[in-house]
Structure 1
Amino acid sequence: MMVNNILRLLSLLAFACSFPFAVEPSPLQDFCVADYSSPVFVNGFACKDPNLADGTDFFYSGLHLPGNTSNFLGSDITPVNAAHIPGLNTLGISMVRIDYAQGGLSPPHTHPRASEILTVLEGTLFVGFITSNPENRLITKVLQRGDVFVFPVGLIHFQRNIGYGNAVAFAAFSSQNPGAVTVANTVFGANPRIETDILTRAFAVDNSIIDSLQLQF
């Protein structure tokens, strides 16, 4: 009987472990400072000798500087991830500073590998995300200075500055490399292009509209 119970337990563990988990693996040492010069290709960066690590490996300076919002979106992102702080490698976190000009937009996009928590430091933002099919429910909120909002992993979301001046926000991610898939750029700026007839059927519009959108991106 005990043997049968043990076999059942092992079967359940094997079954549970067969499902992928949407988290990054836990570090197996105190830290893994990225060795950008290593030729070894791994999921992240290879580690340098921990005895060679110092304070500069865990440090970044520059988030006090405003981004350049003189673009058609009126927004700019300053990232801080494992490519900027070697000591972030394998820790499963990262962050960005987002600057918005008046009316500036962070367009609909997703982060395929991370949830996001955003804090407004200055200004007023209208933010939202869309739930997955089939509901496709839009969930929105107006944020003021000091407010915090969460965007669940993988869901399309956006932010827009609806105040009368510039806005600034900091966002943190549950991945050292959350990735970003901007909907318009990805669909209409694919290289090589997605065939026009696929997009005309998907968006229920004429070929000329698709051609025009592809030229924009």
Structure 2
Amino acid sequence: MEGLNIRLSDILSVEAIETLIDFLSNLEKIAKAFSSSLDLLNTMRVGEARVQLAEVLKLEEKGKDLRTRLEELIVSSRLEPSLKEDLLNFVIKADAIGDHIKEAARELTILPILEIPVEIRNGIIELSKLSITALHQLISAAKKTMEGNNTEALEDIKLINKYEERADQVDLANRGLLLTLADKLRPVTMSILIHDLNKDLEESVDACQVAGEYLKLIILTWLA
């Protein structure tokens, strides 16, 4: 697409861009800590994994402060009201990704993942990787809009949609396995925790997809 070269940094204040960068960087750290926790759990390094899961919770709280500041800067700017709304929707949905990963981290803290039947565990791991990959793709797209690489950003957003479609398939398969293998899951609370973990991971990918659509709207409407 020709002409998609206006930078997001051309229309937002320096402070707003700096805060957005910090906000995205914090999301990257959340993804990294969560990914590390999964790797550690898979190698039975439970103590180290819990340290990383606690880091996810701490980073998500910091993300709330960054979101609040970013929203204040957008609302107080002289941008057109409809652009403000699009930007706020993007920020809100991007922040929701952190919320879902935080809830998944809480569930992993108390869930004995190595006791989960391997079929379900593999599905949870795949869904976790899709969540992290989709988030990285969203962050990449947002950074590209700041640099004026908007056509490339749109390609990133297309990939997020593919990850979301795959996440829907894995979510459905995981829920089916939960029903099929229910008798193997003891205590019963394990089934509930796995269901909640699966739901939070799938919803984190959904939030990435919706945030990507808001970013696409910003690119096509305001950066063209």
TM-score (norm 2): 0.21
Answer 1 or 2: higher relative contact order, Cα 8 Å, separation at least 6.
Answer: 2
Report which of the two has the higher share of strand: 1
In our comparison, the structure showing a higher alpha carbon Rg is 1
TM-score (norm 1): 0.22
Report which of the two has the higher share of helix: 2
